[in-house]
Amino acid sequence: AQRVTQPEKLLSVFKGAPVELKCNYSYSGSPELFWYVQYSRQRLQLLLRHISRESIKGFTADLNKGETSFHLKKPFAQEEDSAMYYCALSLYSGAGSYQLTFGKGTKLSVIP
């Protein structure tokens, strides 16, 4: 079964420290992966996707097919990074449609 695993429920780091949010996936095909973020009292929104290979708000994520991972990284955490982060895998669900399969999420808390 295709799935997404985020092993950490909660991650606490000090401001200015590096951040790595882990994501592992299980998928037999060519994966398409995303990171979504939910700030307090805001809706779920896209942070970045692996195909664009861009850096958003200082975050990057590299797809490692050998390790089936898509970890989210940032060299220096900021207080405004505190949020819930979800890793998601795009799966074909039939008739040309694609669905997102989400991990359970990791809550990042940046300590001032």
Partner 1 sequence: ETGVTQSPTHLIKTRGQQVTLRCSSQSGHNTVSWYQQALGQGPQFIFQYYREEENGRGNFPPRFSGLQFPNYSSELNVNALELDDSALYLCASSFFGRGTEAFFGQGTRLTVV
Residue ranges binding partner 1 (CB under 8 A)? 4, 32, 43-46, 49, 51, 86, 88, 90, 92-105
Write down the least CB distance from residue 66 to partner 1, Å: 22
Distance of alpha carbon 92 from alpha carbon 83, whole angstroms: 28
Which are the contacts of 9, defined by CB distance < 8 A and separation ≥ 6? Answer: 104, 105, 106, 107
Q: Name the residue nearer to partner 1 (CB basis): 96 or 112.
A: 96
Q: Name the residue nearer to partner 1 (CB basis): 24 or 101.
A: 101
Q: Give the distance from CA 19 to its chain's centroid.
A: 12
Write down the least CB distance from residue 33 to partner 1, Å: 10
* Owner of token pair 């990171």: 35
